[in-house]
A and B are shown apart, each in its own frame.
Chain A
Amino acid sequence: MKAFANLLESHLMTFAGRIAEQKHLQAVRDGLILAMPLLIIGSIFLILGNLPIPGYNEWMTGLFGREWSTKLQYPVGATFDIMALIASFGIAYRLAEKYKVDPLAAAAISVASFLLATPYETMFTPPGAKEAIEVGGVIPTALMGSKGLFVAMLLALLSTEIYRMIIQKNIVIKLPDSVPPAVSRSFVALIPAFAVLTVVWLLRIGIENTSFESVHNIVAQLLSGPLNALGGSLFGILIAVLVQQMLWSTGIHGASLVGAVMGPTWLTLLDQNRIAFQAGQEPPNVVTSEFVEILINTGGSGATLALVVLMLFRARSQQAKNLGKLSIGAGIFNINEPVLFGMPIVMNPMMIVPFILAPVAMVLVSYFAMSTGLVAKSVGANLPWTTPILVSGFLMTGGKISGAVLQLVNFFVALAIYYPFFRIWDKQKLKEEEGVMTEHEGASGKTVNL
């Protein structure tokens, strides 16, 4: 058993290490993080503009006039609708940093190549007209948001790769030493930027001559479409949660690794919901980044809040009581390392069973509750993952009670699954403690000092 555990651990470690050290994956994840604070702020305005409270609309109209709701959408657009633009900057910046080349120049070149791949046209229906006409000379906001996310990602990686190769081969304009460094630095980026933009330009021209018409269409049809379909399916989410739990079972931060791979897909799905919600339509996707963070990882990966509550109220052993008290504060904000390593769940064959079963059961419950319309879907608000239970469920559904109720149901599902395993563990600890007490007449050899 021990040999097997060691084998598993060493393999998982290599796997985790590879994902974590994979430069491009890391850059994508870190680059997307740049957009997160903006999306959270945008979400606040999104929720404020659409609270389903009776009388809210009239009250706000009375205070701010009839246009109040439209005005609240300005910050939503300025954050969600430039997600890809920010990602294009952030991803290139982070990747260039890893290659130790000028990140600011790489980021600027990346934004330019993203825009170069984007047609400056949009369809517009003038008031009173029946047919939409094509308008030029605009940057289409749709493609600057989640719809352009994959193009932005790919071009950020491509442009930064070209940029750093040319810089590292030292094919740059060198000015004499007498020129101020600030001036000569701006010349250094000239040749690589020219190369990058030429490549993207040729790419665009080439694609314009095919039936795809634009880079965006190719990526949508060949890449982001299939990826979103898979990542948004019940199968996809189950696999993601299983991998997350299995990694955590050996003490590796599963959520961070799974998030690195699934982040762009889940974010796109989230934003599709936001766009539908703002247009007054039913959000299309059950699975979004919030589905995992808010509905499944309640109290942290493995929905351990239920387990902590059991420790707090049902424990008989001193260790379980102490651990419950120690973990509840952080657990409310979905941080659960104390339980994972303190109980421990990590590398503990018995506790790993409910640790995997509980979130899987919660995925099934939540998926069916949402896909049958019993519970409202996420409206696309991006909440911090530290938002406590009930509040987060209420907010993710745009202020619907059903979101909070589903969280409560999920909580009890997890509680029921953890309960028998918790009892066995608690009993075992109690026995150990009593044994220690009689052997050493009260010396607290095995109880934990906090």
Chain B
Amino acid sequence: MNILLCCAAGMSTSLLVTKMEKAAEEMGVDARIWAVSADEVKQNLDHADVLLVGPQIRYKLPQLKKEAEMKGVPVDMINPSDYGMVNGKKVLEHALRMKK
């Protein structure tokens, strides 16, 4: 399972990556999780199974959706309160649901 996260600079999503990795370990999920800036999404899509977008750049969602759907990668916005509380488990579960 490859989970790609993105926000403006890939900084705050990288906080979430650490927490999600920890949650994945606890849940026994084999996942590769990484964060990039919105501009780098395109180059990273080939290796991603799902794309999660930070709520602060949700205005980019339509554009990112178009790019990702061409490659068959499901896209969604991260729930703002899970994002704020850096709730790795919830976001990971969200990603797992998207894959199905």
Contact = CB atoms under 8 A, between A and B. Distances in A.
Interface of A: 13, 16-17, 20-21, 30, 248, 251-253, 255-256, 323, 326, 330, 335-344, 346, 386, 448, 450
Q: Which 10 residue pairs of A and B lie closest in terms of their CB atoms, listed nearest first? A: A342-B84, A341-B84, A337-B12, A16-B59, A253-B56, A17-B59, A256-B8, A341-B80, A342-B85, A253-B8
A335 B11 contact: yes
Nearest to B13: A337
Given A253-B56, A253-B57, A337-B56, A330 B12 contact: yes
B81 A342 contact: yes
A337 B11 CA distance: 9
A13 B12 contact: no
Nearest to A255: B8
B73 to A, nearest CB: 19
A370 B59 CA distance: 36
Contacts of B86: 326, 338, 342, 450
B60 interface: yes
A141 to B, nearest CB: 30
Nearest to B78: A341
23 contacts: A13-B58, A17-B59, A17-B62, A20-B57, A21-B60, A30-B39, A251-B56, A252-B59, A253-B7, A253-B57, A256-B8, A256-B9, A326-B85, A326-B86, A335-B11, A337-B7, A340-B84, A342-B84, A343-B84, A346-B80, A386-B11, A450-B85, A450-B87
B81 A335 contact: no
Given A251-B80, A326-B86, A341 B55 contact: yes
A322 B63 CA distance: 35
Nearest to B89: A449
A255 B80 CA distance: 18
B99 to A, nearest CB: 24
A330 B87 CA distance: 15
Nearest to B60: A20
B15 interface: yes
Nearest to A18: B59
B34 interface: no
Contacts of A13: 58-59
Given A13-B59, A20-B59, A338 B81 contact: no
A335 B84 contact: no
B26 to A, nearest CB: 13
A448 B90 CA distance: 12
Contacts of B39: 30
Nearest to A301: B56
A448 B82 CA distance: 10
A21 B59 CA distance: 9
Contacts of A335: 11-12, 15
B21 to A, nearest CB: 15
The winner among A21, A251, A339, A341 for most chain B CB atoms within 10 A is A341
A448 B85 contact: yes
A337 B59 contact: no
Contacts of A17: 59-60, 62
Contact of A251 (B8, B12, B15, B58): B58
B59 to A, nearest CB: 4
Contacts of B62: 17
Interface string B70-84: 000000000011011
Nearest to B56: A253
Nearest to B55: A251
Contact of A340 (B15, B56, B87): B56
A256 B8 CA distance: 7
A252 B62 CA distance: 15
Contact of B56 (A21, A252, A323, A343): A252
